[in-house]
Structure 1
Amino acid sequence: MQFVQPIRDPEILADIKYHLKDTNYRNYIMVMIGINTGLRISDILKLRVRDVVGTHIVIKELKTGKTKRILITGDLKRELQEHIRDKPGIEFLIKSREGHNRAITPSMAYKIMRSIAEEFALKEIGCHSLRKTFGYFFYKQYNDIALLMRLFNHSSEKVTLRYIGVEQDTMDVHLKRFKV
């Protein structure tokens, strides 16, 4: 299994969003949900229109079986409203073009993320990069590792720092300045 990284550069992230919004709105919504909620791709793909009409997304996580309640940010709410306009509540948000009202598969989500990585010359990118990107920017904005640890249901702050790539960033910075 490949270890993936968050997308750390805010300019590249903005370029990705702009590109996807212009070329494939469904894929744009998938990325926006991932980077604004920190949900795993398995939980994103099971979301339906009815799950995002209120102020919060309330789901039972597939991996943990725990119920999770996530506030829908203002930016995400605006984009979701555009995406769900005139759609029935039962429709999947990240709908496959094949068949009647089926979500895309995790392997298709991975192909989408790989094509984004290729388009923007990113390495070590996969579906989990969305969740890690949320965590990385949340930590950079609030510097609250304890809260992020709880959001991710991690067992320790150290696990969370390693998970979002901050530990690697710190090592890289120190090694850049290191001289013998």
Structure 2
Amino acid sequence: MKKIIKKKSSRDYLLFVMGINTGFRIGELLDLKVTDVMDEEGAFRLFLDYENKQQPIYLNEQVRRALKLHFQQKTPISTDYLFQSSRGHAPITRQQAYRIINEAAKHVGVTEKVGTHTLRKTFGYHAYVKGIAISLIQKRFNQATPSDTLKYIGIDKTEQQKIDVNL
């Protein structure tokens, strides 16, 4: 999916990469502005302070590479939305974000339902498989119980999970 989206648009690729690497809700992603990810000197921030999050969100190397690619193709203006619509100064809509993700999934043959929440769930699933405590993922997702979070990310509690801890 990444390759398909990357060929189409650096903005859409950035949306996908940020979605699967930060765990943001789609509304949170679409609210981001250039100043949220880039400082006054033009350097990418390592952490994103978002008003609804208790802790800053780490922008890993994959996100910073996608930002670099996007800003090589589009000169950033600090007041612009990060995922700005081509039809004005507003961000793309939630519906447009859904279409971007859904069309890429169909293109690669995914038959299951895929949408913007899939990005967030993917983040949670991979965090869990890599050994991040479900309580931390639950906190990031602001969910009531660990079992809610496990269900949300598609983990069967009775199933034995292999955990990859790479320190």
Same fold (TM over 0.5): yes
Please classify the TM superposition score into its range, dividing by the shorter chain length.
Answer: 0.7 to 0.9
Residue 32 of structure 2: aligned partner: 47
**Structure 1: stretches of 5+ with no match in the other structure:** 1-15, 172-180
Offset at 1:110?
A: 1.2
Relative to its length, the structure with more helix (as a share) is: 1
Q: Provide the alpha-carbon RMSD of the alignment.
A: 2.0
Relative to the length of structure 2, the TM-score reads 0.82
Offset at 1:46?
A: 0.8
Residue 135 of structure 1: aligned partner: 124
User: Identity across aligned pairs (percent)?
Assistant: 32
Offset at 1:23?
A: 2.1
CA-to-partner distance for each residue in 1:46-91, whole Å, 9 max, x for gaps? 1111101222111224xxxx55520111221122123235311111
Give distance in 2, aligned partners of 1:104 and 1:114.
15
Structure 1's 23 and 169: CA in aligned 2 closer, same or farther, altered over 3 A? farther
CA contact (8 A) 2:105 2:114 kept: yes
1:114 is aligned to 2:99? no
1:89 is aligned to 2:74? no
Residue number among 45, 58, 64 corresponding to 1:77 in the alignment:
64
Residue 92 of structure 2: aligned partner: 104
- Would you identify which runs of 4 or more consecutive aligned residues in structure 1 move more than 4 Å? none
CA-to-partner distance for each residue in 1:8-48, whole Å, 9 max, x for gaps? xxxxxxxx112211222111100001000000000000111
1:168-179 mapped onto 2 (5 Å cutoff) = 170=159
Structure scoring higher RCO (CA < 8 A, sep ≥ 6) equals 1
Relative to the length of structure 1, the TM-score reads 0.77
